[in-house]
Amino acid sequence: METDRAQRARIRDTLFSILVLGSLWGLFEVVLGGAMRAAGMPYASAILVGLGLGTMGVGLALVRRPAPLLAVPAVAVLCKQLVVPILHVSVLCKANSCLAVLLEGAALVGVAALAGKRLGQGELSRMAVGAAAGLLGAGAFWLVGRHVAPCAYLLSFDSPAGLVRFLAVEGLLWAAFSGLLVPVGFRIGQWVRERLPRWQARPALYYAASALIVACAWLGSALAIAAGL
């Protein structure tokens, strides 16, 4: 009985972690991404990739199993797709940016699974996992994105040497930001995990706070989309 209760609590905590982290990633994509694009800020895509995978790094420390974290980028994509009911546009409007989120998240889950216990053995290991995921995700995005809803910029890399050029121009930046921010996210996740028992001692407050973060992230994303970001 006690084992079943502990297992249900673990599943519930994992679900809340996924919802919170995915919603925050979606908020970064919508609000920060929109603001950077509006300002013409350089390296915007690399910064967003780094922040997204850094958010996944928090999840790696919290959940300790990479596979469930595949749902985190899916939640972020749903948050981005608020553009459909709010602006009455096609789901393809954000197809490639949503694809990038999914591929980067899947890349980190795959690389973290391969790294296994090495992920918890030091900053260099986590930097390597983040960088490898950023580079792998960039390659996957070049491969798939050109056939989904490619923009003129992505099509400019549609040549026999396109993959090499895309990795040199974009992939290395994605890898650099991810290599820096995944360890930061992991450290934050460790800090949160150390304090979870104390917070979970007051479950009503703990789950209410998690739900509030999710609601604020989605509301903030919806308001930003309505404002044109």
pLDDT for res 160: 74
pLDDT for res 93: 86
pLDDT for res 197: 83
pLDDT for res 82: 95
First to last CA, the chain: 50
pLDDT for res 199: 82
pLDDT for res 64: 85
pLDDT for res 144: 92
pLDDT for res 18: 96
Below-70 pLDDT ranges, the chain: 1-2
For residue 32, the one-letter residue type is L
Cα separation, 79 vs 66, whole angstroms: 21
